[in-house]
Structure formats: structure tokens, C-alpha cells
Structure 1
Amino acid sequence: MGKNINSLESLVQDYRNELPEPAPEWPSEVREMMLFLNEHLFDKNLSIKKAKSNCYSNGNNISTLFKHYVGESPKEYVIKHRLEAGKRLLTNRHLSGVTIFVVSICLGYSGSGAFSHMFKKKTGMPPSEWREKKLAEVAE
């Protein structure tokens, strides 16, 4: 299992390295927010409130600005990238024995329930079913 955990952490780090960078012409608070979210994307204690506080902004204005420049709210940005990273982990055949719970924890969720709920809401199926389907497609 130790090898699988190292592989999970490595894949999560690879995903983090591929995250978009903020454009230099964006307002500084939007750039700071994106950099903070990218850096802490998989931290279980990440919250938008904490991100706003880090960027010295307590109002909703930063969320509006972020959505204007990035195309999605900070919350949507976090969810999208956590789920995309999760899809990579779930479809890696070397990690097929890793539980949904362990994948969830690596992505910053407090457990598999929250991850599974959001995954099903966005993809239309639970992560275990999605994994099985995608791994079968790859095997064909």
C-alpha cells in the first residue's frame, strides 16, 4: 500500500503542476486567490473564506472578480480541479486497488461521502462505477 500512496501523491503533485497560472494583467487579488487555491487545492482544511482572508478580501467582490477573469467561482474552480485530479487517480490502472476513501483523502475531502456525492453530482455516476467503466474501456 505504501507504493500506492507514493504513486497517489506523485500523481496529485503532477496535476498541481499543470494547474493554470493567473494572467499577469489580472487584478492582484484575483492572481493571489488563484495562486492560493492552486497551492492549497488538496488541503483538507481549504475553504474559500480562508482563501479570501489570505488575499485580504472578506467581501464577495473577490469571488465576482475571480469568476469574471477565471470563468468560474473559486468554489467551482476547487471542485472542478479536485474532481479532474480524482478522475486521473481513478483511471490509473496501477491504482485500481486503492479505495475511493483513500483517493478522497488525497484530494482534500474529509471522506469518501463528500467526494462521492460531488463526483456523482458532476458526472452522473458514483466514482466506483465510473472507475469500473473507464478501466473497462481502456482494457478493450
Structure 2
Amino acid sequence: MAAHFNTSTLAPQEREEYIREMARRQAGTPEVNHSDEPTSIYRPLSVITLGAVSVSTIRGNSLSIRRTQNASQDNVEQTVVLTMQLSGTCVVRQNEREAVVRPGEFVIHDNSQPFVLSGTQAVEQITVSVPRNVLALPSSVLRAASARTIDPSHPTAEVAATYFRQLVHSTGPDHNREPDLLGPSCIELIRALIATTQDQRSDVAAEPPHRTLQQHVMTYLRAHLGDSDLSASRVAAEHHISVRQLYLVLSRAGISLGDWIRTQRLEESRRELVSPRGRHATIESVARRWGFASASHFSRAFKKTYGMSPRQWRLENLAA
């Protein structure tokens, strides 16, 4: 899906507030300031949405964007932003570092942490935004990568520059037809670029994204195992991927989602039935605590798996 925004149709006195509101919606950023007169402000913006990935082309004059607190306090989505400078110069400050980004160079910043992005002249940029949980990299890796320029002569940067230029300059609808293919390609390129910023090559950043994404998915599943509405569509939505991608990520680890959830719920229920906390609880309450719709459904699944009913299991183990 593509969208276009422009300030040229607005009255001069409305342009600055419009740009400030766009920045808030995209990044939850509280401070946006222009050094130019309202009549000279311009900022055309084109956005392509590829699943969880957002690719934007931005042109405009001098601007300063500042975040002063963590994104969690602003209640906005936490994203990592890759900026490719096409013309002009901008400055990115984060984690006590400052990067002066010139045409052809890349820079990364973590939108969930305090940062400053500023420029004193007209610029043109391509930005790629990815939710942090989809990028699936530790905070330490993102911290080490932020506010560091990436040399455009690096082979990975050359590939990324060509890819993103062709993506935003495509005139046909092809880039909208396969978001499940183009979005993951953007993510892999960003991970590869982050790996080039590490003082010592980061195994985590260089690792294929499905491995770290799998870790995030499994952590989420364990944390929400007792939720009765835990489903493939919910897990996929929480991680900004399609259901097809979710099944693919898990299949690479030999995991069948439905079987894994059922097995883990039965194991946790079996443990709780004879635990000090659960031995006096009703079988139905234990079943519902671990996501089963009813005691009868739980009892059938339990007996099929362990060869005895939950009640028999509890009596035999408590007697022993």
C-alpha cells in the first residue's frame, strides 16, 4: 500500500503543525521544530507499506526532530529506522554519539530511545522503519549500531542502496503485490547493515533473522500459554508477520504450533495437579488456567496423551 502527503496544499500557517502531527503519528516524537519561515516550509512524503515494514521517501528543508524519553512512555510502537541520505546533510545524535550523514551514506537510530535528528539545509532521504520485535535484535546490538554512519562503498551498503532506490522509484504496482516477499528482504538488509557497524562482527546481527524471530515467538508463546485465545493469527499479528511466515519460522525448528501449544499446556496442567499450589484446585480451574475451553475437553486430551484421567493422575501421585 502506498500513501502520499504534501504540505503544498496547506496554508502557510498550517504547514508546521501538519508536519509536527505527521512526525507524532510516525514516531510519537514530541518535539519537531523548523528554522524557516512558515511560507517556505515544504515536506512531501511518500510511504510504501510492506507488511510490518514502512519505506518512505522524504524531501524537505531544515528540520529538527527530538525524542526526550523512551517510546514506552509515549505509548507508541518501538521501531528501528534506517536512513539513506540522498542529498543534503543531516546529523543524528543518540547514545552519546553524533553521526554527520552525507549523500550516499546510511545511518541507523533506535526510535524507542532518546535521539535528535537535525538538518540545516534541504535534504532528500529514504527511510525504512521496522518494529524492534520484528528486527529481533538485542538492545545491546542496536545501541552499538545507532548514530554510526555506514560507508556507501561497503558491499552490503551498495546492495542496500540499489535495492531501496529501485523499490521507491518503481512505477508499477509490483511492490504492492508481494509484501510478504519484499518486507522480509528489507529486514534482512537492515540486519546485514547493522552487522557492518559492529566493532567486532556480531554473530547475532549476522544471524539469519528467522532464528532470533523464532526465539521471540517462543518466548511470547510461553508467556501466554494460558490464554484461551492464543492462536496463529494472534501470534503473527503480535510479531508483525503473516501467518504463513509464522508457520515457516517454526517449521524450520521442527515445531508444529498447534501440537506444541497442546503439549505444553498438558505438561503444565499435569505438573500443577500435584503441586502444592494446585493439588486442592478443581480440575476445571486447572484446565482453564492453562487455556483449555472446558474440563471435558481437557480430560479427553489428558487421557489420550497420558493413558489416564487427570483425576487418576492426581490420586496416584498424591498417594505416592
- TM surpasses 0.5: yes
Structure 1 unaligned regions, length at least 5: 1-23
Task: Write out aligned runs for 1:45-60 (5 A).
Answer: 45-60=229-244
Larger radius of gyration: 2
Paired residues of 1:89 and 1:95 also in contact (CA < 8 A): yes
Q: Is the 8 A contact 2:233 2:243 kept in 1?
A: no
Pick 1 or 2: higher relative contact order, CA cutoff 8 A, min separation 6: 1
Q: How far apart in 2 are the matches of 1:117 and 1:107?
A: 15
| 1:8-44 deviation line (CA, Å, top 9, x unaligned) | xxxxxxxxxxxxxxxx656243223212212211112
The 5 A counterparts of 1:112-127 are: 112-127=295-310
Cα deviations across residues 56-85 of structure 1 (Å, max 9, x unaligned)? 23243422331332x321222211221111
For residues 117 and 49 of structure 1, do their structure 2 counterparts lie closer, same or farther at Cα, with a shift above 3 Å needed?
A: farther
Amino acid aligned to 1:107: W
Aligned twin of 1:128? 311
How far apart, CA to CA, are the structure 1 residues paired with 2:294 and 2:219?
Answer: 25
Give, in whole Å, the separation in 1 of the partners of 2:298 and 2:284.
Answer: 9
Find the residue that maps to 1:46 and give its secondary structure.
coil
Structure 1 stretches of at least 4 aligned residues deviating more than 6 Å after TM superposition: none
Residue 116 to residue 74, structure 1, CA distance change in 2 (3 Å): same
Matches within 5 A, 1:22-101: 25=207, 27=210, 28-69=212-253, 71-92=254-275, 95-101=278-284
In the alignment, structure 1 residue 106 sits paired with structure 2 residue 289: yes
In structure 2, relative to structure 1, the CA distance for the partners of 1:88 and 1:56 (3 Å cut) is: same
Using the alignment, how far apart are the partners of 1:61 and 1:124 within structure 2?
Answer: 35
TM-score, scaled relative to structure 1:
0.67
Q: State the AA in 1 paired with 2:227.
A: D
Counterpart Cα distance in 2 of 1:133 and 1:45: 32
Give 2:220's aligned amino acid. Answer: F
State TM-score, norm by structure 2. Answer: 0.32
> How large is the RMSD of aligned CA atoms in angstroms?
2.2
Secondary structure of the corresponding residue to residue 65 of structure 1: helix
What is the identity percentage for the equivalent residue pairs of Structure 1 and Structure 2?
A: 27
Q: How many residues are treated as equivalent by the alignment?
A: 113
Q: CA deviation at 1:117?
A: 1.9
